Structure 1
């Protein structure tokens, strides 16, 4: 009689509660569902297919990555991204909105390999968000500027200033991680400010159009309602990120579904969707006027600046990674002062 076939089974590490993981892994209002703080890469990947307190964080950015990639491919079939300089700012924006949710999804997936991996994952996440803010600046400079701001000093130097903002954003948000244990409130304030600052700068032309510009030259068109929708979801994104609601009101109740980081991801993606639609509406309706009144985009002024921003942001991330690993002053954030966990 032949032996019964054996089935391949994978045993994942047990899920832990807040008192069983290092302090650096803990989240406000999240009591249970933590993955093991020394998970293998395979454990991290497999954990995305079981319910933990990170599962929906992973999928709420992984799935939208494919949606934005699909939009990119569809637009590539109808727009000339190779020879038409008018489309180059949109191309950089589309690359950025594919990058930031994918990087975030990877960060949430692999952040529990070790405390060092946690910080490095989020350093990269912050860098991708900084590049997204720069991608927004390219399109806002090219398609969103009020008519009488076109070719002004602000317009001519908008993307260079946005590049500087991206460096500030990455540096400040990475630095904030070093303060999480000793000054958690200051850490949160700095990280929030790091992302609010480039958002406000990028939206100066749009906010002027919406709040202070009336009549001729203000480009009131079909894009305006879409811009409003984007701003509403952007506000919700920032509110959820800063407030930790609803889990702060009922710790433990929203550990797996419904906590602020999941809702923050959803609002960010929906807001980006409306932002893309608004940019496309402005880009299409204003093209005749913009191409006749503004300077055409250059390869150096688009791709060249983006490459410089990528190199600069990677340099900042590398610097903070080196400090994290080698500086005795910051070794405390890598320590595991916790209840003994079974390996």
Structure 2
């Protein structure tokens, strides 16, 4: 490898004829900038990504042939891989940026005087649940290649985050986005306990499927994940579905956003369930465009649309919220949120111990 030559001050002030001679010489000196060089040298170098055959089966994805980070590296390598191009890069960044957007919506200038009280507490829990699931997912995809133990632990954490978000969404949709007819129905009466049970079931089923099945995964593994999540979605979205079916969409700008979140979620569920387009052309969508990546982008869009719809519903419902539900009922409903989070965390911890050799 040839080393670059840095000219001295005298070299740079040579005569025109000398510069002409240097220009015709194959040994023409190059001017290097020392500050960027020192900065780049201070960063640890990351090993290149590898092919699917170079990583254990646990870390491979169907029809994704390249862009894998080798396991067994120091933790800092996976943290710094946030700025490396690999097959998880866009999946990580999509959820990180969405988490920042959710947080800024309530804490930055966009919050516009948003204050926390009993009426707004369910919305605060919703925002917390959204940031939690987005952050847990981003962490899992960024760091899971470190080792088999890290892979299981981080994805169990991801499943806990998803369950927390499911119940956070159900809580906010029930209190802010439902109408009187739905609240007085039998479904409305049992909605929150049923939503908590299904959120816990989704976490348990996903953890069990991760422990029970090994690659190449059989179709029943996907069913263990999709069926509970589908049931939870149908229940959680029922307040919105009732409003969309019984009210004019022009009556509230939130209804169009609710419709958008339903469409985006259904599209994300499709890409979560089916590995397209990479199935049609293995290797062509390793870095950009594979199904799980599209799932991430669509789910982020769904979350942001749902956030805006809930905020509008909250502003519309807030003046009468305490009168309709009562302070005690609101506090009791919110108290179920940390209880659900604790149950899911303990379940994931128990399942993680089962997966240990």
TM-score, scaled relative to structure 2: 0.83
Aligned partner of 2:227 in structure 1 is 193
Are residues 1:91 and 2:124 paired? Answer: yes
Match of 2:113 among 41, 59, 78: 78
Which deviations, in whole Å up to 9, do the C-alpha atoms of 1:164-205 show, x marking residues without a partner?
111101000111112133652111121122322211110112
Match of 2:154 among 121, 139, 149: 121
Check conservation: 1:151, 1:294, Cα contact below 8 A: no
Are residues 1:315 and 2:350 paired? Answer: no
Higher relative contact order (CA 8 A, sep 6+): 1
Aligned partner of 1:336 in structure 2 is none
Check conservation: 2:257, 2:309, Cα contact below 8 A: yes
Structure with greater Cα Rg: 2
Are residues 1:55 and 2:86 paired? Answer: no
1:10 deviates by 2.3
Check conservation: 2:255, 2:309, Cα contact below 8 A: yes
1:11 deviates by 2.9
Superposed CA RMSD: 2.3
Match of 2:261 among 230, 240, 244: 230
Check conservation: 2:182, 2:242, Cα contact below 8 A: no
Give, in whole Å, the separation in 2 of the partners of 1:278 and 1:182: 40
Give, in whole Å, the separation in 1 of the partners of 2:250 and 2:313: 8
Aligned partner of 2:134 in structure 1 is 101
Which deviations, in whole Å up to 9, do the C-alpha atoms of 1:8-62 show, x marking residues without a partner?
4523233211111111111111000111022321110121211111111111111
Give, in whole Å, the separation in 1 of the partners of 2:135 and 2:216: 31
Which deviations, in whole Å up to 9, do the C-alpha atoms of 1:46-86 show, x marking residues without a partner?
212111111111111112111111012147662331xx322
Unaligned runs of 5+ residues in structure 1 are 327-343
Aligned partner of 2:7 in structure 1 is none
TM-score, scaled relative to structure 1: 0.86
Q: 1:190 to 1:143 in 2, by over 3 A?
A: same
Of 281-290 and 197-206, the range deviating more from structure 2: 281-290
Check conservation: 1:209, 1:219, Cα contact below 8 A: no
For residues 1-343 of structure 1, what are the structure 2 equivalents within 5 Å?
Answer: 7-8=41-42, 10-74=44-108, 78-81=113-116, 84-177=117-210, 178-181=212-215, 183-211=217-245, 213-214=246-247, 220-288=251-319, 290-296=321-327, 298=329, 300-326=331-357
Check conservation: 1:131, 1:309, Cα contact below 8 A: yes
Check conservation: 1:147, 1:219, Cα contact below 8 A: no
